[in-house]
Chains A and B, each alone.
Chain A
Amino acid sequence: MSVSENPSVRFLAMGEACVVVEFGNTIDPEVNERVHRLARCLQNLLSRPEATTYQGTFYRQEYRSWSEVARAGIRELVPTYRSLAVYFDPLEVKRQALEAQITQLLQEIDVPEPAGALEAEAGSQREKTFPRQGKTVIIPVCYGGEYGPDLAFVAQHTGLSEEEVVKIHTSRTYRVYMLGFLPGFPYLGGMDERIATPRLETPRTRIPAGSVGIAGTQTGFYPMESPGGWRIIGRTPIKAFDPFSDTPFLLFPGDFVQFKSIGEGEYRKIEESGGRP
């Protein structure tokens, strides 16, 4: 294990073909944002050749060598709550070199935005290379009724009306800390504790795709049919996972989700038009 100059980052090995860049060990929006920022930067450097030709600062040379290294042997990036796993081919990439490159990159990412006029242009270029934030995705949800069989229980449990539960659930923007468990399943953070409700004692064997649920202080939705113990308060017609689409996933790790209450009519309309926004 080596520790970079940045005391809050640790490089850990998970076998000879993976380095885990660990930013912390808590569920924390700032820690998580650093994970996704590094992931986005690396992904950009891997997929956009022009990102390597950015001129105007001292680090161009490093990018060039970085991108050569990366294209030769980086297999996959997996951001999670608090760390970024970088899978690589150990016959192409040396761990030490990779860790040095990432350390360098982290220092550059953490540089404050340029202020001067000349740098403004460089700043926009920089924003392209190092995009600051994920996108916000609106998820329309038909709450209650047959789509949300547990909405009444959540209202009863929390001492709120069903309308209040929906209002609170749709009033916040949730961070997609990571995706996992099922393809496209978002681990969302930031739910209002007033609507926190424990899981079902006996999980259901079948929860339809699109179901929106609450489990403790967590909320989320099922991208595909699955067994599960979450309290289901509504359903979205949006297809968050479509394996046959060119873009199989609606959400990226690091994005934000905003739920919006819709009626049954609109639900059917979106469903019939293919379930993509």
Chain B
Amino acid sequence: MMQMADRIKLKVLDPGLLTTVQDSGRWGYQAFGVSPGGVMDEYAAELTNLLVGNPPDAALLEITLKGPTLRFEEEGWVALGGADCGATLDGKPVPNWSAFYGRAGSTLILGFVREGCRAYLTCAGGFDVPLVMGSRSTYLRAKIGGFQGRPLQEGDVLEGINLVEARDEPGKIVESIRPERDSDLPLTQSSTITLPPSLIPRYGSPILLRVLLGPQEDMFEPEGVETFFNSPYRISHEADRMGYRLEGPKINHRGKADIVSDALAKGAIQVPGHGMPIVMMADHQTTGGYPKLGTVILADQYLLAQGKPGDEVLFFPCTEEEAIVAWKERRDHLSLVRAYVDRLWRKYA
């Protein structure tokens, strides 16, 4: 086995607008009022993680609208994906959806997102912050997890997880590669570790979302349900990691617009008395007292996570069978891309 690199170290020179450490979520505590949290866009996060051979639950940076500026204090492999924010490494453009090697002293600058809303940056092994209740996700509301329970600030130093006990391939391969000469760096070669356009998701407006009705669809007028499915909505400025409030034609309730609180899932669409839908996102409250008209299907939730204020949203009814098929296709696609990236790394090594 080759000598292991020191742990990668990144210093935050500028934190960007809202940059937090996230992983696949803090599951198992919703009964106690703890949101599952985790990355908003699981699809982009998993693709980014697999670019450096990480498992889907490795911790990465979730970058919102405007990216941070980071300096490599110790060298190592990183990967970038999600919304393209025109990254540069020491002034040279870095392709989005790619893995690259940063030398100590290099500066990585992520700018404003060009399309979509959230970018993801990870390092080989994922970022090393303490596990809090089984997760490295930043839970802003409770100020726990991630980097000291808060968004990144100037001067913070992030380290990668020590991969001496490297897990599976291709993580082991990634870890074993220490480019000696700059000409060995993937960015300077024609064959970089980059996902081609055919394998990556596209973001933008309008956002088309498939919805399964329920659990409280019977609390709406049939005409209200029709309005919901036949009208354009816009993402309002009240759109954050907890939920997205949309604006558009009013959805009428049949009677009262509240219920005795019950559970809320990510993707659930609550409609309070004002008749505007609110879609629950990663840090959603675990219970809620407004009727839920429907739920955005798993396979489409990432599209909304990449939506920003002003984007148009259109809802379409769908069947549970279609939803499960779409989800299965997503999982299969991710397995295939993982195998493809594995092959790229073997070739590179």
Contacts and interface: CB of A to CB of B under 8 A. Distances in A.
B142 A18 contact: no
B262 A22 contact: yes
Nearest to A223: B33
Contacts of B1: none
A83 B262 contact: yes
Given A78-B30, A91-B328, A180-B286, A243 B132 contact: yes
B189 to A, nearest CB: 38
Contacts of A12: 214-216
B32 A80 contact: no
Given A183-B32, A184-B33, A81 B327 contact: no
Contacts of A187: 261
Interface residues of B, number: 41
A210 interface: no
B106 interface: no
B133 A243 contact: yes
B295 interface: yes
Interface string B271-299: 00000000000000111000010011110
A14 B214 contact: yes
B32 A25 contact: no
A95 B286 contact: no
Nearest to B36: A76
A73 to B, nearest CB: 12
B265 A77 contact: no
A18 B265 contact: yes
Main secondary structure of the interface of A (DSSP, over half): loop
Nearest to A250: B32
A82 B298 contact: no
A43 to B, nearest CB: 9
Contacts of A16: 212, 295, 297-298, 320, 323-324, 327
A178 B144 contact: no
A178 B212 contact: no
Nearest to A95: B320
Nearest to B141: A182
A78 B31 contact: yes
Interface string A179-213: 11111110100000000000000000000000000
A243 B32 contact: no
A14 B261 contact: no
A26 interface: yes
A114 interface: no
A203 B261 CA distance: 22
Interface residues of A, number: 45
Contacts of A13: 212, 214-215, 295, 320
A241 B139 CA distance: 14
A116 interface: no
A78 B262 CA distance: 9
Contacts of A224: 142
A244 interface: yes
A5 B30 CA distance: 29
Contacts of B36: 76
Interface of B: 27-34, 36, 132-133, 141-142, 144-145, 212, 214-216, 259-263, 265, 267-268, 285-287, 292, 295-298, 320, 323-324, 327-328, 331
20 contacts: A12-B214, A13-B212, A13-B215, A13-B295, A15-B297, A17-B265, A18-B265, A18-B295, A26-B260, A39-B31, A76-B31, A76-B36, A79-B31, A80-B261, A81-B260, A91-B328, A183-B33, A243-B144, A249-B29, A253-B32
Given A76-B28, A90-B298, 7 more contacts: A87-B265, A181-B285, A183-B32, A184-B32, A241-B32, A243-B142, A248-B29
Interface of A: 1, 12-18, 20, 22, 25-27, 39, 75-83, 85, 87, 90-91, 95, 178-185, 187, 224, 241, 243-244, 248-249, 252-253
